[in-house]
Amino acid sequence: MRPSLQDPTATRDVTLVAMDHAVAEWLPQWFQPADQVTVRGLEIDIIARKGKPGRPPIGKIAMSSTERRRRNPRDRRSPRHFARPTRPAPAPLQTDQQKAARDGVIPGLAVALLIGLVAHAAFGEKPASPPVAAVVDGRLPIGGAQLPVFVSQDWSRPLPSVRRVVIVVHGYNRNAANYARNMMALGPPADTLVWAPQFLDPDDIAAHQLPDAVLRWDREQWLDGNPALGPTSLSAFDGFDAILAELTHHADFPNLSQIVLAGFSAGGQVVQRYAEIGKGEDAVPLRFIVGSPSSYAYFGDERPGPDGTLGAFAGAASCPNYNRWKYGFAGGSPPYARGTIGQGVPAIEHRYALRDIVYLIGGNDTDPNHRLLDKSCAGEAQGPTRLARMQAFVADMKRRTPGIQHPMWMVDGVAHNEARVFASPCGRAALFGDETCPGN
User: Is residue 301 included in any domain, yes or no?
Assistant: yes
Whether 284 shows a pLDDT value over 90: the answer reads yes
What's residue 56's pLDDT? 54
- CB-side exposure of 257: number of CA atoms within 13 Å? 7
What's residue 109's pLDDT? 33
Residues 76 and 174 grouped into a single domain:
no
What's residue 282's pLDDT? 81
User: Is residue 203 included in any domain, yes or no?
Assistant: yes
Residues 289 and 426 grouped into a single domain:
yes
State the average pLDDT over residues 56-80.
49
Whether 5 shows a pLDDT value over 50: the answer reads no
Residues 153 and 76 grouped into a single domain:
no
Given pLDDT bands bounded at 50, 70 and 90, which one contains residue 330? very high
State the average pLDDT over residues 45-66.
46
Last residue of one domain, picked from the residues 123, 157, 191: 123
Given pLDDT bands bounded at 50, 70 and 90, which one contains residue 118? very low
User: Is residue 132 included in any domain, yes or no?
Assistant: no
Whether 332 shows a pLDDT value over 60: the answer reads yes
What's residue 336's pLDDT? 97
- Nearest one of 325, 300, 331, 296 to 313, comparing CA atoms: 300
State which residues form the domain around 370: 138-431
State the average pLDDT over residues 353-380.
97
Residues 157 and 116 grouped into a single domain:
no
Residues 72 and 99 grouped into a single domain:
yes
Ranking 15-19, 102-106, 278-282, 396-400 by mean pLDDT, the lowest is: 102-106
- Percent of the chain at pLDDT > 90 equals 66
Given pLDDT bands bounded at 50, 70 and 90, which one contains residue 38? low
What's residue 67's pLDDT? 53
For residue range 342-363, list pLDDT tens digits in order: 999 999 999 999 999 999 999 9
Last residue of one domain, picked from the residues 58, 91, 123: 123
Task: Please report which residue ranges of 75-201 form alpha helices under DSSP H.
Answer: 95-103, 118-123, 176-185
Given pLDDT bands bounded at 50, 70 and 90, which one contains residue 329? very high
Given pLDDT bands bounded at 50, 70 and 90, which one contains residue 250? confident
- Percent of the chain at pLDDT > 70 equals 71
Ranking 38-52, 204-218, 241-255, 273-287 by mean pLDDT, the lowest is: 38-52
Question: What's the rounded Cα separation, in Å, for the pair 112 and 39?
Answer: 6
Residues 154 and 93 grouped into a single domain:
no
State the average pLDDT over residues 184-200.
97
- State the average pLDDT for the chain: 81
What's residue 94's pLDDT? 42
What's residue 325's pLDDT? 97
Structural domain total, the chain: 2
What's residue 107's pLDDT? 35
DSSP annotation of 429? H
**How many other C-beta atoms are found inside a 10 Å radius of the C-beta of residue 102?**
17
Q: In 248-273, which positions are buried (b, 16+ CB within 10 angstroms) versus exposed (e)?
A: beeeebeebebbbbbbbbbbbbbbbb
Residues 276 and 228 grouped into a single domain:
yes
What's residue 50's pLDDT? 39
Cα distances (Å, whole numbers) of residue 162 to 136, 186, 193, 281, 289 = 21, 17, 6, 18, 20
> What's the pTM value of the predicted model, to 2 decimals?
0.74
Given pLDDT bands bounded at 50, 70 and 90, which one contains residue 269? very high
Residues 255 and 391 grouped into a single domain:
yes
For residue range 120-158, list pLDDT tens digits in order: 333 344 566 789 999 999 999 998 999 999 999 999 999
User: Is residue 380 included in any domain, yes or no?
Assistant: yes
Pick the residue with more confidence: 339 or 259?
Answer: 259
Given pLDDT bands bounded at 50, 70 and 90, which one contains residue 382? very high
Residues 215 and 346 grouped into a single domain:
yes
User: Is residue 176 included in any domain, yes or no?
Assistant: yes
Whether 209 shows a pLDDT value over 50: the answer reads yes
Given pLDDT bands bounded at 50, 70 and 90, which one contains residue 233? very high
For residue range 286-321, list pLDDT tens digits in order: 999 999 999 999 999 999 999 999 999 999 999 999
User: Is residue 439 included in any domain, yes or no?
Assistant: no
Q: Is 142 helix (H, G, I), strand (E, B) or coil?
A: strand
What's residue 409's pLDDT? 98
Residues 173 and 99 grouped into a single domain:
no
Question: What's the rounded Cα separation, in Å, for the pair 8 and 427?
Answer: 30
Whether 21 shows a pLDDT value over 50: the answer reads no
User: Is residue 74 included in any domain, yes or no?
Assistant: yes
What's residue 129's pLDDT? 75
Peptide bond into 33 cis (omega under 30): yes
Whether 160 shows a pLDDT value over 60: the answer reads yes
User: Is residue 251 included in any domain, yes or no?
Assistant: yes
Question: What's the rounded Cα separation, in Å, for the pair 135 and 208?
Answer: 8
Ranking 8-22, 113-127, 274-288, 395-409 by mean pLDDT, the lowest is: 113-127
State the average pLDDT over residues 218-246.
96
Whether 43 shows a pLDDT value over 90: the answer reads no
Residues 116 and 191 grouped into a single domain:
no
Question: What's the rounded Cα separation, in Å, for the pair 355 and 271?
Answer: 12
What's residue 236's pLDDT? 98
Domain with residue 250: its CATH number is 3.40.50.1820
Strand spans (E) along 70-172: 111-115, 138-142, 145-151, 164-169
Residues 7 and 113 grouped into a single domain:
yes
Last residue of one domain, picked from the residues 123, 154, 176: 123
Q: Is 266 helix (H, G, I), strand (E, B) or coil?
A: helix
